[in-house]
Amino acid sequence: MPDEPLVLGIETSCDETGIGIVRGTTLLADEVASSVAEHARFGGVVPEVASRAHLEAMLPTLDRACRSARVTLADIDAIAVTAGPGLAGALLVGTSAAQALAWAAEAPLYPVNHLAAHVAVDRLEHGPLPEPAVALLVSGGHTSLLLVGDIAEHVEPLGSTLDDAAGEAFDKVARLLGLGFPGGPEIDRIALDGNPTSVAFPRGLTAAKDRQHHRFDFSFSGLKTSVARWVEARRAAGDQVDVAAVAASFQEAVVDVLTAKAIDACQDLGVSDLMIGGGVAANSRLRALAADRCQRAGVRLRIPRPGLCTDNGAMVAALGSALVSAGIAPVGLGIEVDSSAPVDRVLLG
């Protein structure tokens, strides 16, 4: 195996078919085919629709990635694929494709953890990850704080969401306000015209009594309910709802909790580096508040560019490259998906 392996990454955990190709930590191709438009009329991702879309997009997306990287399947040194967590049917499409490609290319196969891949992708933009680092992962299905040593072998959970993930809360509140799907970009856009202090929405699990058992955990269900009740009360009274103000105030409540707990984790553990990943990491207010609070706390902040925060094949290839470079043995072709894989299992099989 070369010092800088050429790794193909396949991502199909939800509604985006991603194919990435990296050489070491250099990104050569990152192609994504999204089925989000097909789910928009349902207000959320429909697993069967997502699986069918992955089937239709897999080969065209693979072809585009190979052309972009100017490589062929015969050039690939290893193949990495998301095997969990995610939608079971969608994961099966990706792992089946990876198994077939690995067999055809006689390439080693690495079924990897989707969440760890969101951390590993930062290697492609900012170089090797500091060891240790605190990672805040925020997406539609997951909100977690992690202590990351060697990304190939050591990911330790510090806390997670007890109910709705941050991205899920964004989607639900956007639907409540009559905005489009996915909700995160819509709220981020309209919140620019609103006052984030207009409504004093609650900050979940931040009271003194919560610090003993849930210091690094998150809860957004109560916030979502609070927004719903506030909006319903105004509409029942015949008042007009200032959608921009509600969106900005809701968004501020979410990012306030996310950044405060992430900084608290860094300070409590004596860690000087914070990495933020996942789809919600593309949120402009989260990025701005995290930068401000990290600067004041003396913590170095790393956030990939927005295009690498959402689900993509580049992050899977990046994690696969880290595993190969660390000398981690691949698994055989008989892999299984794990839709609820825990974050501390980096290599699945």
Domain CATH for 51? 3.30.420.40
Is the same domain home to 225 and 297? Answer: yes
What is the distance between the alpha carbons of residues 243 and 247, in angstroms, rounded to a whole number?
6
**Mean of all residue pLDDT scores within the chain:** 94
Is the same domain home to 158 and 179? Answer: yes
What is the distance between the alpha carbons of residues 16 and 285, in angstroms, rounded to a whole number?
24
Which parts of the chain have pLDDT scores under 70?
1-2
Is the same domain home to 75 and 143? Answer: no
Per-residue pLDDT tens digits for 81-107: 999 999 999 999 999 999 999 999 999
Is the same domain home to 301 and 318? Answer: no
Domain span including residue 109 = 6-121+312-325
Is there a domain that residue 341 lies in? no
Is the same domain home to 317 and 226? Answer: no
Is the same domain home to 103 and 220? Answer: no
Is the same domain home to 159 and 287? Answer: yes
Helix (H) or strand (E) holding 58: helix 47-69
Is the same domain home to 279 and 319? Answer: no
> For residue 56, which phi and psi values (nearest 5 degrees)?
-70, -30
Is the same domain home to 88 and 220? Answer: no
Number of domains in the chain: 2
Is the same domain home to 188 and 282? Answer: yes
Contacts of 3 (CB under 8 A, 6+ apart): 24, 325
Is there a domain that residue 343 lies in? no
What is the distance between the alpha carbons of residues 80 and 23, in angstroms, rounded to a whole number?
13
pLDDT of residue 221: 95
Is there a domain that residue 82 lies in? yes
pTM: 0.94
Per-residue pLDDT tens digits for 20-73: 999 999 999 999 998 877 877 777 788 888 899 999 999 999 999 999 999 999
